[in-house]
Structure 1
């Protein structure tokens, strides 16, 4: 579903070139879940942005399904995000002027794949049934993040990209939201790439990799490599 082939990314800084990714190879299969870990500043968010087509590598190739993102212009990459990818961030990014029901349906409508029955099921599973006419400011933090997850999955995307999706929540709420996220991902049939600094959050996923000094390691190193 997602493939990185010898991907390099360098940024220009006042101190000189900063190499963030150095020959990264990564494969994520259909229906598979993968946790991307690494110390702060290791380039996890950069890798996620490349996967979403929000940025392009300096060298190498990123593929979504059979589509190479390098062969698309900005409008083409936006179309792939709209039709194929769901995004969940640490910040909820809900539309303040839309109620719960309209926030939930927003991505599915943009993708042209709104399913009334699936949207209704999501509302129930998210614990938001009966709150359809509420606005984001009337919800708790956990409810807002559940809504953001539902919005991302309402179109049944082939690929879900999640950047620290429980980072703004207290521990108990985070556990509940994470469990719900994984259940809904399984129900929707999506592949999942999740950025997290927490081994506990990463544990339930199918695989874990660590980004360290621009390269991916297959499993977290227990000593000598900080993961947070």
Structure 2
């Protein structure tokens, strides 16, 4: 579903070129989950942005569903993000003027892939039944993050990208949200890539890679 092949990324800085990613290759199949760990500044978010088509590599391929999106124009990458990629962040990025149900429907409507039956199922699975008319400020942090997950999954994306998805939650709530996220990923059979610094978040996922000095290594123990 997702493949990065010999990807390089360098940024210009006042001190000169900064190589962030150096010859990165990874693959992720449909229904699989992968944790990407690394210290702050190690390039985790850059890799996530490349996978989402939010940025382009200097060299290499970013292949999603058989197509090299690194060659796409921005308009085509934006369309692909709407239709095939779900994004979940540490900050919830809910629209404060929209109710829970309208926030949940937003991504699917933008992708023209709204499914009323699937939306109702998501609300029930997310434990948000009865809260449909509430606004984000009327929800707890855990409820807001569950809503953000539901919004990302509403169009049934092929790939779900999550950047520190439980970073703003207490430990108990984080565990609940993570368990729910993995359950919904198995149900939808989308591929999941999670960027995290937490071994507790990474442990339940199928595989874990660590990014250090712009290169990847498998994590075999905690």
Q: TM-score, normalised by structure 2?
A: 0.98
> What is the CA distance between 1:179 and its match in structure 2?
0.5
SS state of the match for residue 81, structure 2?
Answer: helix
Partners in 2 of 1:184 and 1:206 — Cα distance?
A: 15
- Could you say which residue in structure 1 is the equivalent of 2:110? 110
CA deviations 1:70-95 (Å, max 9, x no partner) are: 22100000011011000000000001
SS state of the match for residue 130, structure 2?
Answer: coil
- Could you say which residue in structure 2 is the equivalent of 1:200? 200
**Aligned partners of 1:38 and 1:212 also within 8 Å:** yes
CA deviations 1:39-91 (Å, max 9, x no partner) are: 11100000000000000001111111111112210000001101100000000
Structure 1: 5+ residue runs without aligned partners?
Answer: 223-228
Matches within 5 A, 1:40-119: 40-119=40-119
Structure 2: 5+ residue runs without aligned partners?
Answer: none
**Aligned partners of 1:36 and 1:193 also within 8 Å:** yes
- Could you say which residue in structure 1 is the equivalent of 2:145? 145
Partners in 2 of 1:72 and 1:215 — Cα distance?
A: 25
- Could you say which residue in structure 2 is the equivalent of 1:169? 169
**Aligned partners of 1:3 and 1:64 also within 8 Å:** yes
Deviating beyond 4 angstroms after TM superposition, the runs of 4 or more aligned structure 1 residues are none
Partners in 2 of 1:13 and 1:127 — Cα distance?
A: 46
C-alpha distance 220-37 of structure 1, shift in aligned 2 (>3 A) = farther
SS state of the match for residue 63, structure 1?
Answer: strand
Partners in 2 of 1:220 and 1:197 — Cα distance?
A: 16
> What is the CA distance between 1:220 and its match in structure 2?
5.3
Partners in 2 of 1:220 and 1:160 — Cα distance?
A: 24
> What is the CA distance between 1:221 and its match in structure 2?
6.5
Task: Count how many residue pairs are aligned between Structure 1 and Structure 2.
Answer: 222
Partners in 2 of 1:99 and 1:185 — Cα distance?
A: 25
Q: Cα RMSD over matched residues?
A: 1.0
Matches within 5 A, 1:112-127: 112-127=112-127
> What is the CA distance between 1:107 and its match in structure 2?
0.7
SS state of the match for residue 161, structure 1?
Answer: strand
CA deviations 1:190-226 (Å, max 9, x no partner) are: 100000111111011110000111111022565xxxx
Q: TM-score, normalised by structure 1?
A: 0.95
**Aligned partners of 1:210 and 1:220 also within 8 Å:** no
